[in-house]
Amino acid sequence: MTQVLSIASECAPLVKTGGLADVVGALPSALAGQGVAMRVLLPGYPAVMAAMGKAKPVLEEPDLFGGPARVLAGAAHGLDLLVLDAPHLFDRAGSIYLGPDGKDWPDNPERFAALSWIAARIGAGGVDGWAPAVLHCHDWQAALVPEYLHAMGASGRIGTVLTIHNIAFHGLADPARLKSLRLNPHRYTREGFEFWGRISALKAGLLGADRLTTVSPTYAAELMTDAFGMGLDGVMRLRQGALSGILNGIDAQAWNPATDPAITPYKTARGKAANKAALRAEMGLPEAEGPLCVVVSRLTEQKGLDLLLRALPALLDRGGQLALLGSGDAALETAFRSAAGNANVAVRIGYDEALSHRMIAGGDAILVPSRFEPCGLTQLYGLRYGTIPVVALTGGLADTVINASHAAMSARVATGIQFSPVTVEALSAALIRLCALYANPADWAMLQRNAMRQEVGWGASAAAYAALYQDLLASK
Ligand code: ADP
């Protein structure tokens, strides 16, 4: 078995703010059948500490960025965990990233540098009796690992992989913190981890990791462009040879319409009717002629939901309905609350796992009009539940949906609707197309069947990660 340590700031079901957690939580069991034993290193947030069963200290650090810390080995929800118990950094109530004022915790750079430092120590042989062959880092929170391994003189011995789940988050810090972050000032250059006058944890990882991956082939190509690289497209082009795109899968047990405890289970799309009726009742929506569209999303600029607000008439004028579950930007929350003044629009502001299942089971279509989308998971849930995805033609949304073009409809392979460019006009046209397809029962049933048959689990992608680790180790 290849021993791999996965390092991340979130891991479902223990602690989650987005798709990163789903992926980190799903990879260990997906890889178990591929000859990979994966442990996960997480910060010791209160929720993680509480969920751990019997835990054993395996590494101590008397002063980790301002306080004592240790690593505990334990297990929870079938995950083999190493947890960084550092109360001065992680024992805080509320959000894992934001303080009570709604802004990033001021010491976020140190908090996740500490996570990366400890991962590097484990990679450098810090835990007796267990030595990972590969450190698999996720996003900026774990991106300083290669830098610290280098500083510890251990980078030649161990393989490093950095997965980019979203290049929008760089982990920037003021250079005055170089020392407190234990970074080598000589590497603070344009060729190193300096980014427009600031320290960029992500850039350090992009330059230092042996291999880079991102969560879909299309996003991998987009990252090398000015429009999507968020200022790091030059670095991505530099590392093109090390970069690959591996699609995310979904947790096929948690998201299985035949066994889902949150819904009235179903094996064929006919079973959606009971769930749709229940969802309408729950959301206070009347009967309607057109499709019931759902959205489950963070409410941020990335997700393009401001465009949906403006495209809504295209749906509502044709008897369609919208049910939205989401939270995030205050302005978007307010705008959706006021859109719910229309009887055919229902909005729930908040984060609610069970309701997200009921929405995806009860909806006819799921809308994902993102401006960029590294992979996206909710369109995959939609496919599995026979809830037709209407998505922007970008990133993983481009890779996972087969657009209902005339050709794809005649070939009987279409699974959803894609639109481009990401504008109000194109989204409106997609919603009009959706209503037309919905009005034709034969077309609609075919879309649902195709969608539910599409492979959205981890099989192929887990094999791709396992092959990547092998290839990396062979090159060491
Ligand atoms: P991102 O990581 O950018 O937020 P993804 O589509 O990759 O987008 O993953 C989002 C995950 O978070 C999905 O599992 C989705 O169901 C879940 N999610 C997002 N918003 C909510 C919410 N308000 N309530 C419940 N689950 C949510």
| 335-392 residue pLDDT tens | 999 999 999 999 999 999 999 999 999 999 999 999 999 999 999 999 999 999 999 9
Going by alpha carbons, the residue nearest to atom 26 of ligand 1 is 353
58-80 confidence digits (pLDDT tens): 999 999 999 999 999 999 999 99
State the pLDDT confidence band at 5, using cuts at 50, 70 and 90. very high
pTM above 0.85, yes or no: yes
Supply the pLDDT for residue 171.
98
Measured over the CA atoms of residue 173, residue 105, residue 182 and residue 15, the dihedral's sign is: negative
Question: Domain-by-domain residue ranges, the chain?
Answer: 2-249+459-475, 269-453
State the pLDDT confidence band at 53, using cuts at 50, 70 and 90. confident
Q: How far is the CA of 35 from the centre of ligand 1 (A)?
A: 30
What contacts 453, CB < 8 A, 6 or more positions away?
none
Q: How far is the CA of 18 from the centre of ligand 1 (A)?
A: 5
Supply the pLDDT for residue 347.
98
Instruction: Return mean pLDDT, the chain.
Output: 97
Supply the pLDDT for residue 195.
98
Could you please state the CATH topology (level 3) that the domain comprising 269-453 is classified under: Rossmann fold (3.40.50)
Q: How far is the CA of 214 from the centre of ligand 1 (A)?
A: 18
Supply the pLDDT for residue 315.
98
Out of 297, 327, 385, mutate this one to test ligand 1's pocket (max ligand atoms within 8 Å of CB): namely 297
User: For residue 273, is pLDDT > 90?
Assistant: yes
* Identical fold between 2-249+459-475 and 269-453: yes
143-158 confidence digits (pLDDT tens): 999 999 999 999 888 9
Contact 350, 320 (CB under 8 A): no
Going by alpha carbons, the residue nearest to atom 4 of ligand 1 is 18
Q: Which atom of ligand 1 is least distant from the CA of 325?
A: 23
Supply the pLDDT for residue 381.
98
Supply the pLDDT for residue 156.
87
User: For residue 418, is pLDDT > 90?
Assistant: yes
Q: How far is the CA of 82 from the centre of ligand 1 (A)?
A: 25
DSSP string, 409-450: HHTT---BEEESS-SHHHHHHHHHHHHHHHTSHHHHHHHHHH
Residue 432's CB: how many other CB atoms inside 10 A?
A: 16
pLDDT, mean of residues 201-226: 98
Supply the pLDDT for residue 365.
99
User: For residue 476, is pLDDT > 90?
Assistant: no
User: What CATH number labels 2-249+459-475?
Assistant: 3.40.50.2000
Q: How far is the CA of 297 from the centre of ligand 1 (A)?
A: 5
Supply the pLDDT for residue 157.
87
Cα–Cα dist 54/60, whole Å: 18
Which residue, among 136, 380, 353, has the nearest Cα to 247 in the 3D structure?
380
Supply the pLDDT for residue 94.
86
Which residue, among 89, 128, 130, has the nearest Cα to 112 in the 3D structure?
89
279-333 confidence digits (pLDDT tens): 999 999 999 999 999 999 999 999 999 999 999 999 999 999 999 999 999 999 9
State the pLDDT confidence band at 270, using cuts at 50, 70 and 90. very high
